[in-house]
Amino acid sequence: MPGLKTGFVMVKFAQGALAALMLIVSSGFAAAQTILTETFVPEAALVGKARLKVLLFPVYDASLYAPEGDYRKSGPLALELDYLFDVEKERIVNQTVKTFERRKLGSEADIANWRKIMGVHFSDVQKGDKIMIAFPDLQTVVFSTNGGKPTFVSDEGFAAAFKDLWLGDNVRNKRFQNKLLGLK
């Protein structure tokens, strides 16, 4: 059955080609993301990595970058989040707002304003998406998905509160934070 064997070879070839294409696209996103990180964090180097889990379910892998890998709260830094499942924008916004409120990271008016900001700058996330969140200075937050065009928020209160979600003094998951900071 030469036709069956040829068809099998063609399917295997197509699977291999698809896998290679996915790797190239994925590598392209990663390279673009790295370039963006280095754009906003001079001499960016890894500080630490951690996996965020909620009720034993992995949400994303986070990597923290700072100049020469030396984290300073006031210095430029970037977080790269590699999402491990699909999440709708509204869910991300709502969870972030709840955390702002629970940790008292802003006034009611501030948080209402920040909800609007996140509604503009956030998007639905798909499994495998890479989100870069850069803090090039104390008043700016830069967002990019999969190495795409960055969006900028210039709001010192939002920048401080958003950074504190991962790196503040009152985090819920200290083990996650310590790994991100390269401490354990």
Domains located in the chain, CATH noted:
2-180 (3.50.70.10)
Q: What is this structure's pTM?
A: 0.79
Q: CA 75 → CA 80, 96, 108, 138, distances in Å?
A: 16, 23, 28, 8
Q: Which of 4-8, 43-47, 108-112 has the highest mean pLDDT?
A: 108-112
Q: Are 78 and 96 in contact (CB under 8 A)?
A: no
142-179 tens-digit pLDDT: 999 998 999 999 999 999 999 999 999 888 889 999 99
Could you report the per-residue pLDDT of 38-89, keeping only the tens digit for each?
A: 788 888 999 999 999 988 889 999 999 999 999 998 889 999 999 999 999 9
Return the higher-pLDDT residue of 2 and 20.
2
Mean pLDDT, rounded, of the chain: 83
